[in-house]
Structure 1
Amino acid sequence: MVEVDLSGPRLADDLFFVMHDNRTGRTRLHARLTGLGLAAAVLGELMLTGQITVGSAAGQTRLVVVDATPPGDALTRAALNHIVAEPSHRLRTWLQFLARTARADVASRMTAGGLLRPPGRRPSRGQVPVDVNVAAWPVGRVNLAIQRREPLNLQDGVLLGLLVATGGNQLVLWEQNPAYLADSNAALPAPLQELIAQTEAAIGDAVITRR
């Protein structure tokens, strides 16, 4: 798998921006769906850097550690440590486990990195971006690529896949192009396709549970 440049924007940070209103900081989706999407993005970061992949054991889809070298940031380092310590869990279990705190964890990393303003006295209002243009760029470049029918790079392909898996595409894409979405997903390596499929299934379970 082609690894992503670690000096560039992180997948979970980009997804966080897309999933939240730039002015109010409030999430565009239900909190459970946001958490699952961001949990998948954290795992996606570890896949994009070649540290984990997807495997199958006893008919179950699981995460396989390829490189246990601790990542440079605390968020993905903690996720990798959990996977190393308990490798027998299903991928879906990891999504549900990480989703419990994913929104707060990603926001904390982004705040420390100067991407989000620190929470105010009323955190329920959400945290707003330091730079609105930076926050708008992830969904902007995906929308431009779709509009121009241009292929996405690997990270943005996963970003789009997770948007579709969570239903966020219905809220932020300028146009819904089923053929483009299908082709973009098919162009991803198999482990990332499986991550997106498992996220979509977990989202479906969460929606059913809410009814």
Structure 2
Amino acid sequence: MLLGDEFFLAAHDDLGGKLRLHRVNLGLGLAGALLGELVLTERIAVKRGHLWVSDTRPPEDVLSHSVLSHLMNEDDVSSVTPWLRYLAADAYDQVGTRLVHSGHAHRRQARRLLRTVTVFDLVDPNTAAGPVARLSSRLHARHPLSLLDATLIGLMAATGLEKEVTRDAPVPAHRLIPDLVGRLPPPLRELVAATETAVGDAVLSHRR
């Protein structure tokens, strides 16, 4: 699975399917993951708070292709933060739809606070639990993480979701996350930091 799909699954309870994050945090985390997919495939570069397209070849994934096209068409916007906010607006629907197409989710309409919203029900509880179970196991055992997994846990920490993999961990395991994030390649490390800042700004704005 791609980074955005893994984050989507981690953000849902694998039994009841309820969200583990506030919708704003979820959107920003998914936005960071979508940009992260393009960093991982070397389509974009990130440095000093800015991003740019470094490879215009269309990615195989349709959603990644769409995001890359947006970046190319709006090349006058180079700051990471506006892109996180822009992509966050419909990242939940976009990634959820990708999971529907891959057979991992069903889409339905539900009533929430006097309005109708789109909800994605995950098909297989084992698949839904996969990202959190894998990260938890590897973190507890101090096994090396793949670049995708290290980025995923960084985005989880940026949005407040890391507790799902450290809930039953010994104290030293909690301290591994900052080190894992710190050892990410600079573009991914910057992307995680930008996502964390955007989440913090959103929380402050909501409290005003």
TM-score computed with the length of structure 2 as normaliser: 0.89
Q: Which runs of 5+ in 1 are unaligned?
A: 1-8
SS of aligned partner of 1:181: helix
Matched residue, 2:130: 137
The answer as to 2:111 corresponding to 1:119 is: no
Distance change in 2, residues 1:121/1:201 (3 Å): closer
The structure with the largest strand share of the pair is 2
Give me the identity figure in percent: 39
The answer as to 2:36 corresponding to 1:44 is: yes
Matched residue, 1:155: 148
The answer as to 2:57 corresponding to 1:69 is: yes
- Residues in 2 aligned to 1:38 and 1:53: alpha-carbon distance in whole angstroms: 18
Q: Tell me which moved more, 16-25 or 138-147.
A: 16-25
Specify the code of the residue in structure 2 equivalent to 1:11.
L
Asked if structure 2 preserves the Cα contact closer than 8 Å seen for 1:115 and 1:131, the reply is yes
SS of aligned partner of 2:122: coil
Matched residue, 2:166: 173
- Residues in 1 aligned to 2:16 and 2:93: alpha-carbon distance in whole angstroms: 16
- The count of aligned residue pairs is 199
| Aligned alpha-carbon RMSD (Å) | 1.7
SS of aligned partner of 1:118: strand
The answer as to 2:201 corresponding to 1:205 is: yes
TM-superposed deviation, 1:75: 1.2
The answer as to 2:160 corresponding to 1:164 is: no
SS of aligned partner of 2:107: coil
Specify the code of the residue in structure 2 equivalent to 1:87.
D
Matched residue, 2:185: 189
Specify the code of the residue in structure 2 equivalent to 1:115.
H
Specify the code of the residue in structure 1 equivalent to 2:195.
T
- Residues in 1 aligned to 2:144 and 2:179: alpha-carbon distance in whole angstroms: 9
Matched residue, 2:88: 99
TM-score computed with the length of structure 1 as normaliser: 0.88
